[in-house]
Every structure is written in structure tokens, then in C-alpha cells.
């Protein structure tokens, strides 16, 4: 049995971006919101990265949590002590482990799902169809619920469908997890680390720590295309804000991995740098030369969007071919038509804002407060 409900908006995903979208929509008082997620437990940041050091200062997590009146109401009405009071006690100018931020998102989620304007459905969006009527931009969103006493399948009719579906680490063809439990402790073992941004540097830090303690035979080959890059605080803005190293990763890189110190640092006794710069052919040559000596490989080479639900248009269920507009949060049909797809929007790591710094460098803004700033700018036009 399938039941149908009408809502002002449907939000897919309950990670940091999804929570921010729901908060912004509530602040605009547009009406009821259908919110769909498999677990409503802070997304991938909670499932996978709780012990990862952030590259964001605590004060920015605080700013995220207090940016909207619905959020401030939740914080005021949450019994103490809670994730918000815990966050407030941390050093606001320092970074923190991501479990503090994940718990904050969970606290906001718990408050949002209790609001009468929010219909939370634990499950997945299987498909969404855009009406073919040119004067009526309506989406019919099909939901497969995974729990609860309501009908297993549900349809929502809405004029706004917002995708906050997240991303996952990009993998090479032979991904092998690097875990302390799987690494031998009594024989020589070599781990390859590919990448030179925040995640790769933290992987190197953890492997060096293992080699200095429980795994004395562990060695690391570090494959990188470019020199280490750091975020730099300029006059009112941050150079390489989204791509440069910050916090613990930056400290470790400066003191242990830079060209002038790697040869004599403690990390240099464990890590061998493999310079892959010079183009694709050179990079492949380095991999062929050095990867056969490695027993394991860990990849920190970026993220790939998670699969989207089936999105179709009209009675003929024609699949939508679409491109994201990083300036407005909307979608357009792929060329040659290029027309705006009515009522379809995106946010979060899968659909971030594109930013250009005063030097003309183009980056994509990924981070809790960066999602919030983007949404506060674009949601009023949705």
C-alpha cells in the first residue's frame, strides 16, 4: 500500500548539510518538510570520522549551531549537559575531534524531528518524478521506509526537492584498508599512502605513531604529486581555505614532512617520499616502480558523490541529465538545452559552493559552517 502526502519541501539526507537545509527552510516558515535518511545519526561524519581531528576551529562549529532561530530554540530546550554545552567548553580557537561536531549535529537532528512541521522518514528515496506540466513544477518523490508502523512505501508531492546525499572516499581499483589490527607486528611491512591533503597527512601521522609504538617493523611509502600546501590567514580571508592543511595535520607536516626536515625527522625514519609530479605518465611510472614493494595501500585522493535516486521527467519517465550550479544550489539540464530544472536543489559535500579567492584561485567550500553560509545565501531564492 502506498500513501501520498503533500509537503512544501523534501530534503534527502541528514548529515550536516541536510540538517542545515531543514533549519533554513523552517526559518523561512514555508510549511511542512519531509525529511528522509536511513538513520538520522549525523551522516558519514558520525559513522566513519568520529576520531578524526577536524581542520575547522571549534568556533565555526559553534557558529553553525547558532546561525538559525530553530537551532537556537533546540539548544535552549535541550536538557543539560549536552553536546552543545560540551562544545562550548572547548578551546574555541583550536580544532577538535569530529565526534564533538557529530554529536552536535545529532542533538540538532533530535530537536528538528520533534517539530510539528517536520515529517521524518527513516529510509531511502527510490525515485522522483518531475511533472511535465510547464506551469506546475511538482515533484512526486517515492520513499522506501525501513522502519516504523506506517505504510512501507510513501509518496510525497512537493515543489522543492533538495539533495544532501553526501559523498564517499574515492577508491583506486585495489583498495585495502589500513588498520592497526591487520598490520603484522613481527615482520617488515610497508604501507603506501597516496595523497597530500588533510586525510593523507593524518594517515601518515597515525602510521608513524604505530611504527613508533606497537609496529616497529612498519614502513611507509608516501606517493604525492605536489608540495605540501597550507591554509594561510590573510587580511580578512584565508588563502587555500578549502585545500590547505590546518590544525594537527599542518603542525605534523611542517615539523616532520617538509623537504628540509623529512630526512632528519622522526617521521623520516619511517616514511619514504615518492615524488609523482610531472604528469600522468610519470605518476604511473612511480607507481609501477614502488607499489610492488608495498603490502597495503591507503588512498586519500578525494571524494566521489554517492549515488542519487532515480530522477525522471514527465509521463514518459525520461531520465534527467543534469548539471549542478555551484553559485545558486540549483540544477540545469545538461547541454545543449541547459534549462533550469524547476524545484531541484543540492547542498553539502556532494554539491558544494564554488568560491574564488582574491588571487583568483577556485575552490569548493566544504565544511559545516561553509554549508551554512552558502545555504543562508541561496535558500531564499528556492
Check if the beta carbon of residue 122 is closer than 8 Å to that of residue 145: yes
> Tell me, what's the pLDDT at 337?
61
357 shares a domain with 329? yes
> Tell me, what's the pLDDT at 179?
42
> Tell me, what's the pLDDT at 176?
36
Q: Which of 268, 301, 334 corresponds to the end of one domain?
A: 301
Q: Which of 272, 301, 330 corresponds to the end of one domain?
A: 301
182 shares a domain with 160? no
Pairing of strands 153-158, 2-6: parallel
Cα three-residue angle 221-270-184, rounded to 5 degrees: 80
Question: Measured between alpha carbons, how far is 33 from 12 in angstroms, rounded to an integer?
Answer: 11
Element (H, E) at 368: helix 368-378
Q: 3-state class of 60 per DSSP? A: helix
CATH code of residue 297: 3.40.50
Show the low-confidence residues of the chain (pLDDT under 70). 1-2, 134-135, 147-151, 172-183, 336-337
Check if the beta carbon of residue 158 is closer than 8 Å to that of residue 8: yes
229: containing domain = 171-301
288 shares a domain with 359? no
Largest Cα span, the chain:
70
Question: Measured between alpha carbons, how far is 49 from 368 in angstroms, rounded to an integer?
Answer: 14
Question: Measured between alpha carbons, how far is 378 from 352 in angstroms, rounded to an integer?
Answer: 12
257 shares a domain with 176? yes
Question: Measured between alpha carbons, how far is 365 from 160 in angstroms, rounded to an integer?
Answer: 23
- Which residues touch 361 (CB under 8 Å, ≥6 apart)? 239, 240
6 shares a domain with 42? yes
> How many CB atoms neighbour CB 33 within 10 A?
24
DSSP β-bridge partners for residue 10: 34, 161
CATH code of residue 350: 3.50.50.60
370 shares a domain with 281? no
Question: Measured between alpha carbons, how far is 186 from 174 in angstroms, rounded to an integer?
Answer: 25
Check if the beta carbon of residue 35 is closer than 8 Å to that of residue 185: no
How many domains does one find in the chain? 2
Question: Measured between alpha carbons, how far is 5 from 35 in angstroms, rounded to an integer?
Answer: 12
Exposed e or buried b per residue across 91-118, where buried means at least 16 C-beta atoms within 10 angstroms of its C-beta? eeeebbebbbbbbbbbbbbebbbebebb
> Tell me, what's the pLDDT at 236?
87
362 shares a domain with 233? no
Cis peptide upstream of residue 336 (ω within 30 degrees of 0): yes
Q: Which of 301, 321, 343 corresponds to the end of one domain?
A: 301
**Rounded to an integer, what is the distance from CA 140 to the centroid of its chain?**
27
- Kindly report each contact of residues 56-60 with a partner whose C-beta sits within 8 Å and lies 24 or more positions away, as own/partner: 56/95, 56/101, 56/246, 56/367, 56/368, 56/369, 57/92, 57/93, 57/94, 57/95, 58/87, 58/90, 58/91, 58/92, 58/93, 58/94, 58/95, 58/96, 58/100, 59/92, 59/93, 60/367, 60/368, 60/369
Amino acid at each position: 500500500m502506498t500513501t501520498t502526502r503533500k509537503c512544501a519541501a523534501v530534503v534527502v539526507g541528514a548529515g550536516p548539510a541536510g540538517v542545515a537545509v531543514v533549519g533554513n527552510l523552517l526559518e523561512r516558515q514555508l510549511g511542512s518538510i519531509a525529511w528522509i535518511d536511513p538513520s538520522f545519526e549525523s551522516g558519514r561524519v558520525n559513522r566513519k570520522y568520529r576520531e578524526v581531528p577536524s581542520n575547522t576551529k571549534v568556533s565555526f562549529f559553534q557558529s553553525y549551531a547558532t546561525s538559525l532561530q530553530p537551532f537556537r530554540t533546540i539548544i535552549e530546550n535541550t536538557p543539560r549537559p549536552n553536546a552543545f554545552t560540551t562544545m562550548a567548553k572547548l578551546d574555541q580557537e583550536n580544532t577538535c575531534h569530529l565526534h564533538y561536531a557529530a554529536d552536535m549535529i545529532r542533538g540538532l537532528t533530535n530537536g528538528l524531528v520533534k517539530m510539528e512541521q517536520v515529517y521524518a522518514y527513516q529510509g531511502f528515496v527510490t525515485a522522483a518524478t518531475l511533472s511535465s506540466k510547464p506551469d506546475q513544477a511538482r515533484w512526486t518523490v517515492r520513499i522506501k521506509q525501513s522502519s516504523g508502523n506506517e505504510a512501507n512505501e510513501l509518496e510525497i508531492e512537493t515543489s522543492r526537492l533538495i539533495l544532501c546525499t553526501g559523498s564517499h572516499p574515492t577508491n583506486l581499483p585495489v583498495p585495502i584498508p589500513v588498520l592497526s589490527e591487520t598490520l603484522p607486528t613481527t615482520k617488515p611491512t610497508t604501507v603506501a599512502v597516496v595523497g597530500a591533503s588533510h586525510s593523507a597527512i593524518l594517515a601518515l601521522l597515525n602510521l608513524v605513531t604505530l611504527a613508533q609504538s606497537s609496529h616497529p617493523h612498519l614502513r611507509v611509502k608516501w606517493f604525492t604529486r605536489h608540495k605540501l600546501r597550507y591554509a594561510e590567514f590573510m587580511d580578512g580571508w584565508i588563502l587555500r581555505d578549502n585545500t590547505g592543511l590546518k590544525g594537527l595535520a599542518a603542525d605534523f607536516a611542517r615539523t616532520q614532512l617538509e623537504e628540509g626536515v623529512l630526512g632528519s625527522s622522526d617521521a623520516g625514519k619511517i616514511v619514504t617520499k615518492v615524488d609523482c609530479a610531472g604528469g600522468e605518465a610519470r605518476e604511473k611510472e612511480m607507481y609501477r616502480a614502488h607499489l610492488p614493494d608495498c603490502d597495503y595501500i591507503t588512498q586519500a585522493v578525494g571524494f566521489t558523490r554517492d549515488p542519487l535516486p532515480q530522477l525522471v521527467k514527465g509521463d514518459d519517465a525520461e531520465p534527467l541529465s543534469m548539471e549542478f550550479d555551484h553559485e545558486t544550489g540549483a540544477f540545469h539540464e545538461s547541454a545543449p538545452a541547459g534549462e533550469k530544472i524547476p524545484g531541484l536543489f543540492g547542498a553539502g559535500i556532494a554539491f558544494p559552493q564554488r568560491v574564488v579567492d582574491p588571487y583568483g584561485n577556485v575552490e569548493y567550500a566544504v565544511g559545516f559552517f561553509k554549508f551554512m553560509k552558502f545555504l543562508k545565501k541561496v535558500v531564499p531564492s528556492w
